[in-house]
Structure 1
């Protein structure tokens, strides 16, 4: 049971020293327009995440926020927003406005931001922001910028609970950043990093993939999982599952981000939780013998819609979108390959021991519980997931937990071999006595 719990934490935590438990229902978007004497912008804060961070459930039930409460919210955001120029001087910050708008099917509080340097120079500065994310570690803030009057935004980066500051360079008035090929090309590497950060903090995406991989070293026979003979075939199965998931989410990521498929974020997030639940049941007892590839591809289409919601939050024009879409998808694939490389060797070794059936069932069972709680939360049956804290702690120690899984797998395999060596003389003696007795 101890080993099984270790495996569970590893399954939840292989995202690295990242942010969060579940993929958030929405993110905060910061859109900055760099002018000649000031930087103006728009802050889009998801109301449900804001309510959780402030422990104010009444926020989610209001179509509009009363003036007194709106003033408090502006003051809260203002306390957590700042900018510092390249010369080290702090800029003045003002938060104004405040309306509730539906963005991607999720209610957002939209505020206006004005950052003003005393020198009037807005060329390079550092933007600091930690509203919501200071309390809700699973939250993420997407920051985009452009020169004032330009058509396209350029993705600048991602603010998480680990890093609240982001340099905004190269957007001086008159520059081509955010409006030409230079800005788009510069955004590619940022998009790759954004994809890495996003998937490494989305425990639901990772948990779905890893739950699918639990039975990968095994074969379905007569309605149950049995040990597969041959390491090569197990490795091929892993490649098939990972590739199918990648193809599935890449298709819908591209279609949705380019505007060919409409995204309903709450529905997509609920389907993601359902996909984890289905893969967990399949890991316990094969629903579709040999069907991990089909399940991975099918639900990969759903996960791609969630990835696309992040791209759409940036408000990019088509010229910037294609390049940054490629970078974002590349970041996702890099992270997935790292996760597979860290976890699969341990699963393959464990599958050769008597410990693996317990590990597989325990891991899949707890994944099913988490998925059911996420599903209840995202469909409104529960106000929040009571196990989010556990998942956040696991993700924050991902590399350590993956190393622990490797130690457990090696120890279990070694014990199996020692027992086999110790049993050999006994078996030989028994055969000898049987031969002598027969004579």
Structure 2
């Protein structure tokens, strides 16, 4: 297989992987544990859609989970959740179910499970084992906030890190930073709308618009400069609103944010087909980047971290997002540079690819804005 064909296959694979039928916020749960008293107390927020998927809570199959349906399955829900959570403080703790409530997060309604744990040994560390939903959704993540006498610990549970131990006498800021860095990379890689936005802004960056036509840039350097300008604009913009949203200065409705993110992909893809803004695209990208930042903020905002832990988690998460974004650029840009002079690139990859992205993103916009 020639180098050009391999490049085409690679680019097509990137597009295919980034275009699922839907692209909503990844599955997360929010686990809060307080060890400051003699007894361990906890609250676990789990999305109703995830519990429905695992347990089938919608008894009459009408598409809505009522409080009555949720309450009638209380014992089943607690057995399912607490059976996938283990706590050990020197010795294994015994967990007990508490109250059941419902609460809202940015992506929908969650069941809030209160629980407590009796630990026979008041050890200096707490080991948490987390297995919720990993068997049916490997992309699920558990976001932990652990309060101890030393401060607040944060962590992210994944299939690869399903069991973690925390020193209750000190807070490891470096560990929190690294975990949220990984979470930031994970978040952008599985966020199809963010990935398609980056891909769609990259494709015409190796071309220049002249006399109503896309032509290949003669200089690799000029293409790299254009990509750098676009990626920098997106990075600066979403970093600003990510910080503002997480720190509580700005709060926008989730439906508005998610719908506008989908619309931004539509506009960018259509601009590739009918360039209304062929020059100075970085301004358009900066404006849309501000909206994407609010989307990135949903994970950290829902966790409700205190100021000390929030700063470390925010920086780590944002750095992770940038690393994930640069990894996409590192894959796509060399392929685009190699093929930029071909008719196939201009018609099939840029033309048909942008059209396909516009259709998929328009579908996301309709489902998010109107709830279809």
TM-score category (smaller protein): 0.7 to 0.9
1:66-104: CA deviation from partner (whole Å, max 9, x where unpaired):
32133332233233x2225487x6543333322111233
Q: For residue 113 of structure 1, what is the aligned residue in structure 2?
A: 115
In the TM superposition, what is the alpha-carbon distance from 1:44 to its structure 2 partner? 1.1
Change (3 A) 1:338 1:21: farther
Q: For residue 221 of structure 2, what is the aligned residue in structure 1?
A: 232
Matched, 1:202 2:199: no
Q: For residue 155 of structure 2, what is the aligned residue in structure 1?
A: 156
Distance across 2 between alignment mates of 1:295 and 1:138? 32
CA contact (8 A) 1:51 1:60 kept: no
Q: For residue 289 of structure 1, what is the aligned residue in structure 2?
A: 278
1:223-243: CA deviation from partner (whole Å, max 9, x where unpaired):
442222222111111111110
Unaligned runs of 5+ in 1: 15-19, 178-182, 383-439
Q: CA RMSD in A?
A: 3.2
Aligned positions of 1:212-251 closer than 5 A: 212-251=201-240
TM-score w.r.t. the length of structure 2 is: 0.85
Matched, 1:82 2:79: no
Matched, 1:334 2:318: no
Distance across 2 between alignment mates of 1:345 and 1:100? 49
Q: For residue 11 of structure 2, what is the aligned residue in structure 1?
A: 7
In the TM superposition, what is the alpha-carbon distance from 1:341 to its structure 2 partner? 1.3
Q: For residue 377 of structure 1, what is the aligned residue in structure 2?
A: 367
Structure with larger Rg: 1
CA contact (8 A) 1:154 1:187 kept: yes
Question: Could you tell me which of 343, 348, 356 is aligned with 1:366?
Answer: 356
Q: Which protein has greater RCO, CA pairs closer than 8 Å, 6+ apart?
A: 1
Q: For residue 46 of structure 1, what is the aligned residue in structure 2?
A: 47
Distance across 2 between alignment mates of 1:242 and 1:158? 30
Matched, 1:169 2:183: no
Unaligned runs of 5+ in 2: none
In the TM superposition, what is the alpha-carbon distance from 1:13 to its structure 2 partner? 4.0
CA contact (8 A) 1:25 1:269 kept: no
Distance across 2 between alignment mates of 1:308 and 1:295? 21
Aligned positions of 1:26-425 closer than 5 A: 27-35=28-36, 38-54=39-55, 61-62=64-65, 64-66=67-69, 67-79=71-83, 81-83=84-86, 85=88, 90-104=92-106, 106-121=108-123, 123-131=125-133, 133-147=134-148, 153-159=152-158, 162-163=159-160, 165-171=162-168, 175-177=169-171, 183-184=172-173, 186-357=175-346, 358-382=348-372
Greater shift after overlay, 244-253 or 271-280?
Answer: 271-280
